């Protein structure tokens, strides 16, 4: 069986949750499936062993709209598996969705209307209409059911390559590259990870919370920013200047998916004052690496992390900042969270995913 996958994120946001989740799917595919990945640009060097169909499309609002609504529907395969809730509104493809974005549904657009490009609003509107065409919603078994159209099937959680629930060997083929990356980033021995999202609203919330924490821990434990595009970096720079936080922030540029797990394994904590991503987002990645997690309270994060996270209200930056300081300063708290994270990840039966996915594909294809 040949299945089409939307590889937009592999080219333009390679360490985003949607990209990492697609990489996880490709790494856990059943033998009966031949993947075909549609790409809007040249295949990245780390993407190996899959058939790719390349159509050059720029990373612009108009380019993304054309990609989702015109180019993907014209690819000559009947089954399309998406990791972003942006299905085409027209066409005859059987569409499956395992969403790994921060938005609750396709109609959510971060930021106020006047700050969003008109084509982005059109894209989200069309995607919202296209959601009625989703045949199957694939959802992690350890999370509460979403309010999405389509038949819901629960699958075991999976992790992208490099992330496992067991510690990585100290020596491996990737270690020299990882050491070179860490040297290039010039990171201190202790640091905290923030791994998106990068919209204006989320970044302002992040800066407010970090403002409360930075005076206590920013010098010894800087905040490392992962996965930002140029627009998000511009927003971050402006907000950091506004809150006078530049010295405690460190942007990790050009981090490839094959090396990101090394940063997670070396960090002191993961900070995620944002809604959780269902599949391969920072909350799940932190748990997989047994790292203390400070995050905002929401149903998905609570269900996913349970006692393995220090949660604070999303709208209370002072509480979020204080929670982060507590985890860094009080070693017993960090150790308790780390132990709980390892126990949580040990319960993920990732070996079942392949057969479960094949059951979904074969049933859906036969209907």
Residue 123 burial class via C-beta count within 10 angstroms: exposed 0-12, middle 13-18, buried 19 and up: buried
- Quick check: helix, strand or coil at residue 109? coil
CATH topology of domain 175-346: Rossmann fold (3.40.50)
Supply the pLDDT for residue 106. 40
Average pLDDT over residues 140-162: 89
Residue 117 has pLDDT above 80, yes or no: no
How far is Cα 192 from Cα 232, in angstroms, rounded to an integer?
A: 19
In CATH, what class is 2-158+349-366?
Answer: alpha beta
Supply the pLDDT for residue 238. 92
Task: Give per-residue pLDDT as tens, 302-315.
Answer: 999 999 999 999 98
Of residues 36 and 251, more confidently modeled: 36
Average pLDDT over residues 105-122: 55
Supply the pLDDT for residue 127. 80
Task: Give per-residue pLDDT as tens, 44-80.
Answer: 999 988 999 999 999 988 999 999 999 999 998 999 9
Token digits for 253? 């540029």
Supply the pLDDT for residue 165. 52
* Closest to 367 in 3D by CA, of 123, 153, 94: 94
Supply the pLDDT for residue 255. 87
Residues in the chain: 367
Q: How confident is the model at residue 178 (pLDDT cuts 50, 70, 90)?
A: low
Residue 169 has pLDDT above 80, yes or no: no
Q: How confident is the model at residue 31 (pLDDT cuts 50, 70, 90)?
A: very high
CA angle 237, 45, 24 (to 5 degrees): 80
Token digits for 194? 């923030």
| Stated pTM of the model | 0.91
Task: Give per-residue pLDDT as tens, 220-238.
Answer: 999 999 988 888 899 999 9
- Locate CATH 3.40.50.2000 in the chain: 2-158+349-366, 175-346
């Amino acid at each position: 069986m040949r299945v089409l996958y939307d590889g937009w994120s592999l080219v333009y946001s390679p360490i985003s949750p949607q990209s990492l989740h697609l990489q996880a799917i490709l790494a856990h595919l059943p033998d009966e499936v031949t993947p075909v990945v549609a790409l809007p640009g040249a295949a990245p060097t780390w993407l190996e062993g899959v058939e790719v169909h390349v159509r050059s499309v720029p990373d612009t609002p108009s380019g993304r709209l054309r990609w989702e609504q015109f180019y993907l529907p014209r690819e000559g395969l009947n089954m399309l598996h998406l990791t972003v809730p942006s299905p085409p509104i027209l066409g005859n493809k059987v569409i499956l969705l395992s969403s790994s974005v921060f938005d609750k549904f396709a109609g959510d657009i971060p930021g106020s209307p006047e700050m969003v490009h008109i084509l982005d609003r059109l894209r989200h509107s069309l995607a919202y209409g296209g959601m009625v065409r989703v045949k199957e919603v694939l959802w992690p078994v350890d999370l509460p059911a979403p309010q999405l159209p389509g038949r819901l099937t629960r699958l075991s959680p999976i992790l992208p390559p490099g992330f496992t629930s067991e510690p990585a060997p100290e020596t491996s083929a990737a270690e020299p590259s990882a050491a070179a990356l860490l040297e290039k980033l010039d990171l201190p021995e202790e640091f905290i990870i923030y791994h998106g999202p990068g919209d204006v609203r989320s970044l302002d919330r992040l800066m407010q919370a970090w403002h409360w924490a930075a005076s206590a821990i920013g010098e010894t434990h800087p905040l490392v920013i992962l996965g930002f595009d140029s627009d998000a970096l511009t927003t971050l720079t402006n907000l950091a200047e506004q809150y006078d936080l530049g010295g405690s922030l460190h942007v990790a540029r050009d981090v490839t998916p094959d090396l990101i797990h090394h940063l997670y394994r070396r960090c002191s904590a993961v900070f995620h004052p944002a809604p959780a991503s269902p599949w391969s987002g920072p909350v799940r990645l932190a748990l997989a690496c047994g790292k203390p997690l400070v995050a905002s309270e929401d149903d998905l994060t609570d269900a996913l992390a349970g006692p393995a996270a220090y949660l604070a209200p999303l709208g209370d930056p002072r509480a979020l900042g204080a929670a982060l300081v507590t985890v860094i300063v009080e070693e017993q708290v960090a150790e308790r969270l780390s132990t709980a994270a390892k126990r949580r990840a040990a319960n993920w039966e990732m070996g079942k995913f392949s057969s479960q996915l094949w059951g979904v594909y074969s049933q859906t294809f036969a209907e």
